[in-house]
Structure 1
Amino acid sequence: MTEDPALERTRLTAEANRLRARAFELRRAGREEEAFPLWDRIDEISHWYRGMLPAVTVARCPETGEALSWPIDTYGLDGNFWAYDATIRRLPSSVPPAWLAMTGAMRLADPVEDTPFRAVPGPGVPFVVPRILAAPGVRAVLGEVPVGRHTGWTISYFGPRPGVPLVNLWGTNDYPVYVPGKRRGWATAETGVTDCDFDLAGWLESGKLRWIEPGDESASLREGADGCPFLDLPGDRRIAVVANGSVRRVAAIG
């Protein structure tokens, strides 16, 4: 292994993608046994990849002030963290007791990565999900997370569990259920653009939505719309689906 995790990630991700493509070719040709060593190597790389994901501070609990760090592949969309249908991730070792969910959005920069899978980084501007945030006692925190040359945003929800479906983890098709602060299982929720509110000013002024200044290493929570850099950002309100070096936009993802 090299000392530079970014270079090692690039090399091993490319190797795993090549091996996976070859393994599927062998399967289609009825030569499954020849693919067994390839899958063993892919598993080895996946184990390393999962462990090297950097923990990024994405929010601070509005109730307790506890920082929330999440392991995210911030190097680019070509890592299997972003594989929508077969993600490789690890969950945080702990979350604040009031944590509910984390979704996200991303402004894509050209050219996008040539991914051999579907990556679904969300709409091109940050948003909130009113069915969650409107619930009594629920608040959200918006933060910025660079992902390679792209600009990502996380939206984390905290508070008492509402009586509505939550929202899938950023870039995936399900979400972990914590009650409270302890993982109890998994669930899934379909969320399309009609479930999202991109007009953040009212949520900011109400105190339901707080934000972290980009680049603020202290991750201090800020309130109100004045000075918020996430208001009225230009970008597509549809959900991006990245695959094979191209992007298409959809109203909902299944």
Structure 2
Amino acid sequence: MPGFDLVRRQELLDEGFPLMRFYYGGQSSVEKFPAFDRLCDLRDEYRKLLPETVIARCPLTDRMLRWPIDTAGLDGWYWEWLNPTQRRPAGLPATWLALKGAVRLTEPIAAAPFDCRPGPSAPFVLPHLLEPVEAHAVIAEIPIGPHTGWAINYFAPKRPKDISLEDIWGQCRNPIFDPTSLDREYAEKMPPSDEDFELRPWLDSGKLLWIAPGDHTATLRHGAADCPYLDIESDRRWQYIYDGRIIPNRRSDSS
């Protein structure tokens, strides 16, 4: 995995996970301070390690979209649902709207002491983000350790003011847009989004484009012919993971 120090990543997690369990345990606040300080240092170093990964190409500007994402596994702090460790993407296109995603899990799943919610096990689109005339989505396959991930990015000439602000794939927030803005306040009042797993109509309409697995040029492809992301078997429920265990029968809008 070019550009990602996997050995150092594992060293950081091996030291950090016991500190997390200690910090969130029953110790007094005074005992927790050193553990918290060290954990912050470890997470900060981990953040700097995250590789800039090509996850899309904008259909409107032809610019590649690179994202600092943990592609080594779902046990990295990037995938911590409530407190993700992330660097802001550099040079984010003004046309970018949202990043959603899905993951087909492969066991065994590495244990991590936090809640991980990587999405359902097949790619999907959010119709309300594609309603604007010039809006498009792009699907790309992103290996995440032993798992198969699909990044689904949305683009439009400008962000409509009447759509909800979607959380980033695998996270309970959207750090790209100001979380204190009126847009975020409005988004929190919106009902949960409905996923559409029937991709063929969106591909045929030209609203949905795709990048072939392993294509480092991120060439955009059109239409349903030869698209490998169609008809992927899935029960379409959102997946919840804690400490290496999959928690079944839960959805993204559950508490």
Q: TM-score, normalised by structure 2?
A: 0.90
Map of 1:124 onto structure 2: 121
Q: 1:4 to 1:135 in 2, by over 3 A?
A: closer
Residue correspondence of structure 1 range 156-167 to structure 2 within 5 A: 156-159=153-156, 160-162=158-160, 163-167=162-166
Map of 2:20 onto structure 1: 20
Task: From 54, 60, 67, give the equivalent of 1:63.
Answer: 60
Instruction: Judge conservation of contact 1:176–1:184 (CA < 8 Å) in 2.
Output: no
Residue correspondence of structure 1 range 115-154 to structure 2 within 5 A: 115-154=112-151
Per-residue CA deviation, residues 85-114 of structure 1 (Å, 9 max, x unaligned), is 111111112211111110100000011121
Aligned structure 1 segments of 4 or more residues deviating by more than 4 angstroms:
182-186, 188-192
Instruction: Judge conservation of contact 1:128–1:200 (CA < 8 Å) in 2.
Output: yes
Q: CA deviation at 1:191?
A: 7.4
Q: Distance in 2 between matches of 1:137 and 1:145?
A: 25
Q: Which amino acid aligns with 1:12?
A: L
Instruction: Judge conservation of contact 1:105–1:124 (CA < 8 Å) in 2.
Output: yes
Instruction: Judge conservation of contact 1:50–1:89 (CA < 8 Å) in 2.
Output: yes
Q: CA deviation at 1:149?
A: 0.2
Q: 1:8 to 1:102 in 2, by over 3 A?
A: same
Instruction: Judge conservation of contact 2:51–2:68 (CA < 8 Å) in 1.
Output: yes
Q: Distance in 2 between matches of 1:112 and 1:85?
A: 19
Question: What is the RMSD of the two structures over their aligned residues, measured on CA atoms?
Answer: 2.1
Map of 2:218 onto structure 1: 219
Q: Distance in 2 between matches of 1:207 and 1:4?
A: 35
The worse-fitting range, judged by mean Cα deviation, of 157-166 and 41-50 is: 157-166
Per-residue CA deviation, residues 157-208 of structure 1 (Å, 9 max, x unaligned), is 0003232113210001122455xxx99968355775x600000000001000
Q: 1:227 to 1:85 in 2, by over 3 A?
A: same
Q: Which amino acid aligns with 2:107?
A: D
Q: Determine which structure has the larger strand proportion and give its number.
A: 1
Instruction: Judge conservation of contact 2:110–2:244 (CA < 8 Å) in 1.
Output: yes
Map of 1:228 onto structure 2: 227
Q: Which amino acid aligns with 2:38?
A: R
Q: 1:37 to 1:58 in 2, by over 3 A?
A: same
Map of 1:36 onto structure 2: 33
- Residues 1:84 and 2:103 are matched in the alignment: no
Instruction: Judge conservation of contact 1:132–1:166 (CA < 8 Å) in 2.
Output: no
Q: Distance in 2 between matches of 1:191 and 1:18?
A: 38
Q: Distance in 2 between matches of 1:56 and 1:239?
A: 24
Q: CA deviation at 1:66?
A: 0.4
Q: Distance in 2 between matches of 1:191 and 1:11?
A: 41
- Residues 1:110 and 2:114 are matched in the alignment: no
Map of 1:246 onto structure 2: 245
- 3-state SS of paired residue (1:175): coil
Q: Which amino acid aligns with 1:219?
A: A
Instruction: Judge conservation of contact 1:53–1:71 (CA < 8 Å) in 2.
Output: yes
Q: 1:191 to 1:101 in 2, by over 3 A?
A: farther
Aligned residue pairs, count: 245
Instruction: Judge conservation of contact 1:242–1:248 (CA < 8 Å) in 2.
Output: yes
